[in-house]
Structures are given as C-alpha cells and as structure tokens.
Amino acid sequence: SAVISQKPSRDICQRGTSLTIQCQVDSQVTMMFWYRQQPGQSLTLIATANQGSEATYESGFVIDKFPISRPNLTFSTLTVSNMSPEDSSIYLCSVVGPSGRVGGELFFGEGSRLTVL
C-alpha cells in the first residue's frame, strides 16, 4: 500500500493569489495524479505529474494556471495560480501502486479543501 500526506488540508485564500499544495508519498511511485473535485461533483483529472519532465495536462487545464512539480518519485506539488472563486474545490493527489500500472490499486491523499473569496 501507499500512504499519502497532503497539505494544506484546507485554506481560505484571496482572489488573485496563488496556493501551492504538497503531496508526499511514503514509497516511490511511478504514476502520480492531481484531481479537482468541485462542490457536488465527481473527480476531474487535472494532470499526470511526471518525474523529471513536464506534467501532462488534461483538456481544459493549462500549465500557467496549474503548474506542477515532481522533483522525485515520492513528492509533487500543485500550484493554483491567480485564484478566483471558481477555483474553490477539493484538490486531491493520487497514486497507483504498488505495481504502478494503470490497472493497479488507487491511493489518495486526504485532500486540500480550497475556498477562494
């Protein structure tokens, strides 16, 4: 199994500011993902965080708005830039393990609940 520590767990931010969310995994994992869950909605994949290269973004998400870092196989950050109230969501880090294949078990962080005023 994989244990994921995600922080902050929640934050209240002002419009126009940026917030960085951290995700730490207790083991090396190949596949790491960032999701957004808007109020009352299911999970939407933002991007796949790739170690040593740029993240792969899904349609509707761009690097300027959601820059992602992945310096090693156990850590990643997601920044929500120039925030607006529409960015108020839960942001979740997820990994696939231990096999690392897409069909492997899913593990999630505790989520970061972001409110933008």
73 to 23, 90, 101: CA distances (angstroms): 11, 23, 15
| 73 near other proteins, judged by CB under 8 A | no
Stretch that binds other proteins, among 22-30, 65-73, 74-82, 87-95 (CB under 8 A): 87-95
Q: One symbol per residue from 12 to 51: x for binding other proteins (CB under 8 A), - otherwise; what is it?
A: ---------------------x---x---xxx-x------
**Cβ at position 94, least distance to other proteins in Å:** 8
Residue 42, φ and ψ in degrees, nearest 5: -85, -170
| 111 near other proteins, judged by CB under 8 A | yes
Residue 66 or 107 with smaller CB distance to other proteins: 107
**Cβ at position 89, least distance to other proteins in Å:** 10
Report which DSSP code applies to 81: -
Strands 105-108 and 10-13: unpaired
Report which DSSP code applies to 9: S
Residue 67 or 111 with smaller CB distance to other proteins: 111
Spatial distance between the Cα atoms of 70 and 28, rounded to a whole number of angstroms? 12
